Amino acid sequence: MCSSLGRTVSSCLRPLSRYARMKDDYEGLGGEDDALLWSRDLEKHYHGEFSFAVVQANEIIEDHSQVETGRHATFVGVYDGHGLARENGKISKDVIRNALSETENGFLTLVRRAYEIKPTVAAIGSCCLVGVIWKGTLYIANLGDSRAVMGCLDGSNKIVAEQLTRDHNASLEEVRKELKALHPEDSQIVVMKQGVWRIKGIIQVSRSIGDAYLKMPEFALDPSFPRFHLPEPLRRPVLRSDPAMFTRDLQQKDKFVIFASDGLWEHLTNQEAVEIVHNNPRTGIARRLVITALEKAAMTRQIPYNEVKKLDQGIRRHVHDDITVVVVFIDHEMLDNINSGPELSVRGFVDTVGPSNFNF
C-alpha cells in the first residue's frame, strides 16, 4: 500500500518543464483566452463530483496536482514546489503517513545520487497536501502552506468555512514560536528578510518534501550558491518532513472541500472561497476561484486582468503565483452506495483522463 501511494506522490514531484502551454477545455466565466489557465469540469468520484483548475505563473510551473478516483475512494494531491492502494483492505493515518515518509526517503535517495553532479538538487523541495475520502471518512496529510478548507452548513443553514489544515509557514507567530522552541541555541532560526519571516533567512515553509540542504549537513551548498548557502554548518534539520495529519467522519453538514496551493489563499480568505463555491454552479467552480484570485491579484498590482492574461510565464510571477484548486463535492446520498465508483486519473495542467490504476 505505502509503496503504491509513495510512487504516486513521487511522480507528481518531478520537474514540469515538459508541460506545454495548453488552452483549457472549458469556455465561459471569462478568461477563456488565457493560455496559462487550465481546467477540467465536471468529473464524478465515488462520493460526488469534483472541479479542477490550474494557472501557471512561474517560467516552469511549480505546482503539480492530481485527482485519482477508485472503486471505493477518492485521492487528491496538491504539490507546490519551490495511486493509492490498501493495506489489509484499509486506509488509515499511518498508511498515508508512511507513504509520505517513503516519498521523502525516495527523494533524498535521488539527491544522494545526483548531488556530486548537480548540487542544486539539494535545494529542490515541495509542499505536499494529500486528501483521501474512504468509507465516509476524510483523511488529510499536510506539509507546508497549501490548505484544505471545508464548506459546511451551520445551524442557520449558512455556509461557513472550516480550515482543516494548519499552515506551516514562518509568517505565523505560532510557527515561529515552535521553531524557536525546537532550536533554542540558534538565534537565527527565523529572521526577517525582505519584509518576510524566513527560516535561516531562506525559506518560509517549515515542513516540506526535499530541501535536503536544510535537513542534512552532507548536502550543504557552498558560497557559490548564495541563495542557499548557510553561513554556519547545519547541526540538525531546520525543516521537518513529518506531515500534520487530520481525520474527519463526514457529516450531513459537510458539503465540499477546497484543496488549494497557497497561491489561492494569498488572495482569498477561507470564507470568501467557500461562499463562491456555495453560491455558484458546480461546473467551472474551481476555474471561478482561480479567476477571482487572479482578478484580485491584478487589482492589487493595478493592472487590468485582461493585460495579465497576455503575460508570459515567468514575467507573470510578478503578479501572482502558480495556483492549483481542486473542489471536491460530497454528495451524502452516495456515501453508502454499494456500487463501485468511476476509475479516473486526472493530472493538473496535463489534461489526461483515464482509468485509475489504483486498487481502492
C-alpha cell of residue 303: 493592472
Q: What does the pLDDT read at residue 13? A: 46
C-alpha cell of residue 128: 505536499
Q: What does the pLDDT read at residue 70? A: 82
Place of cell 483549457: 24
Q: What does the pLDDT read at residue 348? A: 83
| pLDDT bucket at 346, cuts 50 / 70 / 90 | confident
**Segment 232-265, tens digit of pLDDT:** 888 899 999 999 999 999 999 999 999 999 999 9
Can you tell me the distance from the alpha carbon of 81 to that of 138, in angstroms, rounded to the nearest whole number? 24
C-alpha cell of residue 284: 467551472
| pLDDT bucket at 46, cuts 50 / 70 / 90 | confident
Classified as helix, coil or strand, 196 is strand
Residues paired with 64 in a beta bridge: 79
Q: Is the peptide bond before 42 cis (omega within 30 degrees of 0)?
A: yes
**Segment 137-173, tens digit of pLDDT:** 999 999 999 999 999 999 999 999 999 999 999 999 9
Classified as helix, coil or strand, 110 is helix
Give the least confident one: 80-89, 322-331, 342-351.
Answer: 80-89
- Angle 65-66-71 from CA coordinates, rounded to 5°: 165
Q: Comparing 46 with 267, which gets the higher pLDDT?
A: 267
Residues paired with 4 in a beta bridge: none
Can you tell me the distance from the alpha carbon of 262 to that of 144, in angstroms, rounded to the nearest whole number? 9
C-alpha cell of residue 68: 485519482
Residues paired with 142 in a beta bridge: 129, 244
| pLDDT bucket at 21, cuts 50 / 70 / 90 | very low
Q: What domains lie within the chain, and their CATH numbers?
A: 2-169+205-354 (3.60.40.10)
| pLDDT bucket at 319, cuts 50 / 70 / 90 | very high
* Residues in the chain, overall count: 360
* For residue 356, pLDDT beyond 70: no
Can you tell me the distance from the alpha carbon of 307 to that of 320, in angstroms, rounded to the nearest whole number? 13
Mean pLDDT rounded to a whole number for the chain: 85
SS (H, E, C) 268-320: CCHHHHHHHHHCCCCCCHHHHHHHHHHHHHHHHCCCCHHHHCCCCCCHHHHCC
Output DSSP code: residue 36: T
Can you tell me the distance from the alpha carbon of 266 to that of 94, in angstroms, rounded to the nearest whole number? 31
Helix axes 2-11, 93-114, angle to 10 degrees: 50
